Amino acid sequence: MTALIQTIATPDGALTILADDAQRVLASGWSDDHAAIIERVHPSLRPDEIIEGSTDAADAARAYYAGDLAAIDAVAVRQRGTELQRAGWEALRRITPGSPLTYSEFAIELGSPQAVRAAASICARNAPALFVPCHRVLRADGSLGGFAWGLPVKRSLLDREAAVVLVA
């Protein structure tokens, strides 16, 4: 499989997007280090060839940063994981911008209230960040918790979403 990789400038720094030949996002993150992005892709989904090119997801990311928070919702993604992980990644896409959940609330959404660690692991293993918005899950005390691309990026995304929701 051949994949496209594209890096765009955002207010949070370089955002690199890796998409397969069907324009499904395999991985994305706030880094211009292509190897770091590729490394997040499940080994069975890693492309044989990667070329630089334009991705549909980049337009959605630009629209998101311009205030259209829903622009990322229609972007197709592709991940490989367990049944619980796949359900979790789908659930992350349903979290309303500006209304983050705690890891405990996210575990309840998954139908496993005791699976708080599993919920956190689902977020940690999420490769197409932004398009599967794992940044919308917080610790029980409201603190940020972790984020593969750094807590300043997570805080910025959450603040951006809260501000757009308040204006709307």
Domain harbouring 108, CATH code: 1.10.10.10
With respect to residue 42, please indicate whether it lies within any of the assigned structural domains: yes
DSSP 1: -
> Do 66 and 134 lie in a common domain?
no
pLDDT tens string 113-129: 998 999 999 999 999 99
**Domain residues for 151?**
83-167
Would you state the pLDDT for residue 168?
A: 55
Determine the 3-state secondary structure of 109 from DSSP. Answer: helix
Given the residues 75, 127, 134, 137, the one annotated as active site: 134
pTM over 0.75: yes
Overall domain count for the chain: 2
Which residues, other chains included, contact 168 with Cβ-Cβ below 8 Å and sequence gap of 6+?
Answer: none
With respect to residue 67, please indicate whether it lies within any of the assigned structural domains: yes
> Do 43 and 93 lie in a common domain?
no
Q: In what helix (H) or strand (E) does residue 107 lie, and over which residues does it extend?
A: helix 103-109
**Whole-number Cα distances in Å, 165 to 2, 61, 68, 93, 99:** 38, 17, 10, 17, 9
Confidence of residue 167 (pLDDT cuts 50, 70, 90): low
Is residue 123 part of the annotated active site? The answer reads no
Which of 34, 51, 72 lies at the terminal end of a domain, its last residue? 72
pLDDT tens string 23-46: 999 999 999 999 999 999 999 999
Query: What percent of the chain lies above the pLDDT cut of 90?
Result: 91
